[in-house]
């Protein structure tokens, strides 16, 4: 599979694929054809797909590289892989917690503004926000 095809399949750009390889993010070094062009295997694509999931969940490239190296070393270091994965699991759950808390505040603010906008505008304005409106003021006082 050529780099262009892999770019299409993974959603990563050609630039990014080369960049990842340079950063040591590929489990086995990519094969080359006679002309020196990259030839990707199905496994490479699978691995890259995993990497995009890890990236999408905020794992930094150094951590992915570390995990990649463990996998490259082969069996015997599963404990270490677990450590990396658990660390990331924690990072993601923490981030989801933060997001969820933020979302509460954002939702609350939306309700407040909906209530403000609702007064005078057509539509249902029967369900008041659960707390008194304290939307943002430019000049409080």
Partner DNA sequence: GCTTGACCTAGAGCCGACTCTAGGGCCTAG
Partner DNA sequence: CTAGGCCCTAGAGTCGGCTCTAGGTCAAGC
- The alpha carbon of residue 82 and the mean position of all alpha carbons in its chain are separated, in whole angstroms, by 20
How far apart are the two ends of the chain, measured CA to CA in Å? 66
Q: How far apart are CA 66 and CA 27, in angstroms?
A: 11
**Spatial contact of 76 and 42, defined as CB atoms under 8 Å apart:** no
CA–CA–CA angle 37, 39, 41 (5° rounding): 170
Choosing from 24, 45, 49, 55, the residue that interacts with DNA (CB under 7 A) is 55
For 17, the 3-state DSSP assignment is: helix
Helix (H, G, I), strand (E, B) or coil at 1: coil
- Residue 34 interacting entry, from DNA, a second copy, none, C-beta within 5 to 8 Å by type: DNA
Identify residues 28-47 at the interface with DNA (CB under 7 A): 34-38
Region from 8-16, 29-37, 124-132, 133-141 binding a second copy, contact rule CB under 8 A: 133-141
Interface mask toward a second copy for 59-88; x: CB under 8 A: ------------xxxxx--xx-xx--xx-x
75-114: contacts with DNA (CB under 7 A): none
d(CA 23, CA 59): 14
Interaction site with DNA (CB under 7 A): 2-5, 13-16, 18-19, 34-38, 55, 60-62
Interaction site with a second copy (CB under 8 A): 27-28, 43, 47, 50, 53-54, 56-58, 71-75, 78-79, 81-82, 85-86, 88-89, 92-93, 95-96, 98-103, 105-107, 109-110, 113-114, 116-117, 135-140
């Amino acid at each position: 599979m050529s780099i262009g095809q892999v770019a299409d399949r993974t959603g990563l750009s050609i630039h990014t694929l080369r960049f990842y390889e340079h950063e040591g993010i590929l489990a086995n070094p990519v094969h080359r054809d006679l002309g020196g062009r990259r030839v990707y295997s199905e496994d490479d694509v699978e691995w890259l797909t995993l990497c995009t999931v890890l990236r999408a969940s905020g794992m930094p490239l150094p951590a992915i590289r570390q995990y990649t190296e463990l996998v490259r070393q082969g069996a015997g270091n599963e404990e270490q892989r677990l450590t990396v994965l658990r660390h990331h699991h924690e990072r993601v759950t923490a981030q989801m917690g933060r997001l969820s808390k933020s979302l509460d505040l954002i939702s609350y603010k939306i309700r407040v503004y909906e209530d403000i906008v609702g007064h005078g505008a057509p539509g249902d304005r029967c369900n008041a926000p659960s707390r008194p409106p304290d939307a943002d003021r430019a000049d409080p006082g």
